[in-house]
Structure 1
Amino acid sequence: MINSSVNSDFILVGFSDQPQLEKRLFIVVLISYLLTLVGNTIIILISSIDSKLKTPMYYFLTHLSFVDICFTTSIVPQLLWNLKGPAKTITAVGCVVQLYVSLTLGSTECILLAVMAFDRYAAVCKPLHYVAVMNPQLCQALAGISWLSGVGNALIQGTITLWLPRCGHRWLHHFFCEVPSMIKLACVDIHANEVQLFVASLVLLLLPLALILTSYGHIAKEVLRIKSSQAWHRALGTCGSHLMVVSLFYGSITVIYIQPNSSYAHTHGKFISLFYTVMTPTLNPLIYTLRNKEVKGALERLFSRAAGVCKQNRARGDRTL
């Protein structure tokens, strides 16, 4: 059975050491969460109903939006509850669920972003064979690998973390149950766990990042070979949004997981975690909407269709009267 101390509630210290920030953070986090729900739901909706978005890129973008919705939902409601009142506790079961779910979704996003980079590589470097390469079966397999990798990592990392004896330690110096913070509750030597966490982070963070950089290296080489300004604009339009999302996500999460014991990660870890758990899922749909002509076109068609339906209903109502 997993560590018996898991039967006790945990105390999420969070930002209680800076009470003057809690009210402001509550407002910021609440607004960001609502924008995350609305923005990512819109992307899922238009990708599902707009025929022009029935492409591999938007298939993976739908998965990314779903991951972001679930990821923030596994963390933010508890964070808002703790920011609003004096109680900073989370039940043992709640902590276990939050640990597994957030770790699954965060790991899935790492692999999914690498898969999306491969899709962009195929679109730019293999345009004549793109449809054959990125066929529906391969897209489903790549999405499945992303999810299975996330689940597998969560089962391994989460279970190892929960097995650590904590000797009654319940004060978690974070705002959610995350592996780097939870292993610090252990009352035994955790050096082996830190090494294992570092190795797992290399596989699930740096390996996908290396694949992303390799894909974009080939894309840059292809564009330079063509020597066309139009090709540059097309490549930037195709890849710019994804590059921004990758930069935001990997730039913050690698600090937490690659250097879990550094003074920088320990001192500023809560704010860095706040960025990739709350702000990045909010910015993702905005980035894809504002920088992508296809998404903006789909939104315009959706609103035009909705306006047309409203006019028809209004006209029927007038005839009825």
Structure 2
Amino acid sequence: MNLSTPATPVADLVDLQPSRERIAADVVAGLSAVPRRLPSKYFYDARGSELFERITHQPEYYLTGVEIALMEARMADIARAVGPALHVVEYGSGSGRKTGILLAGLDDVVAYTPIEISRDALLHSVERLEARFGGVEMLPVCADFTRPVQLPAPGREARRRLAFFPGSTLGNFERDEAVGLLRAMRDTVGTDGQALIGIDLDKDPEVIEAAYNDAAGVTAEFTLNLLARLNREIGSDFDLGQFRHRARYSQERRRIETFLVSQCAQRVHVGGQAFDFVAGEAMLVETSHKYTDADFAAMAGEAGWQVAQAWNDPKDWFGLRLLRSAS
């Protein structure tokens, strides 16, 4: 996938992407923590977005294929459940493959607002969708969706807003963070709004673990690209050859834990500070929680939502949940 920047903007863009100073501050805070960690939201520069798209095509990575098949099979049911005349607000739009299924299957989409931290990925996704859905007003926002975002108003008033959060991105957040994000999502779409959320369901640990350790090594390359981005954008000096990708499933915490492991004793500089690693020290860069129905329903309830509809694939590997305000 070619992610060179389009020659001209494809739509009005609200650009709130994090500054160099914000990224550096987040990285320093993570490296100062015990144990060390890096924010996974910074995986998605242009190269990271391209690598993630490649991950979704690896044979071990079941999530995307299963979710797309589920959406295609149940799209008519989803459209009936959510109703017409919607302003669709997508959190983390990525390549837009699932978005195309949603926009094509819904009745009278008024506007579409993707919120995506990678500006290049955002513009290319909107460019493709705009060519296909000329009657839908495209109102992209380049921003960190974990922070409050003011949505642009469409030219034609929508009946309600539908938040769309596919994939397993919600699982990348700790439980209290996920509840906070779901609560902020509810505030954004309003008390009459809805949310369609993708959740990766708890299953055979071998199936889960294989998805994050593909034989082609694309996920490892994706993980290490985080360090390359930081070196380029904030002037850090991570030695990519001295860190190794490691992803393991914790049955106790029902989550994949992805680390970058230091291969030697080394010193890294970020933001004028030095951080010493010992050989074998693991730095957490991502978690991906796998849910039971009870887990997810409880989280949604804490955020002021209730589960109105639930759709699973035939193997119960992945689910889509339609949320409505509990009040």
Q: Indicate the structure with greater helix content.
A: 1
TM-score normalized by the length of structure 1: 0.24
Higher relative contact order (CA 8 A, sep 6+): 1
Q: TM-score, structure 2 length as denominator?
A: 0.24
**Structure 1 or 2: more strand by fraction:** 2
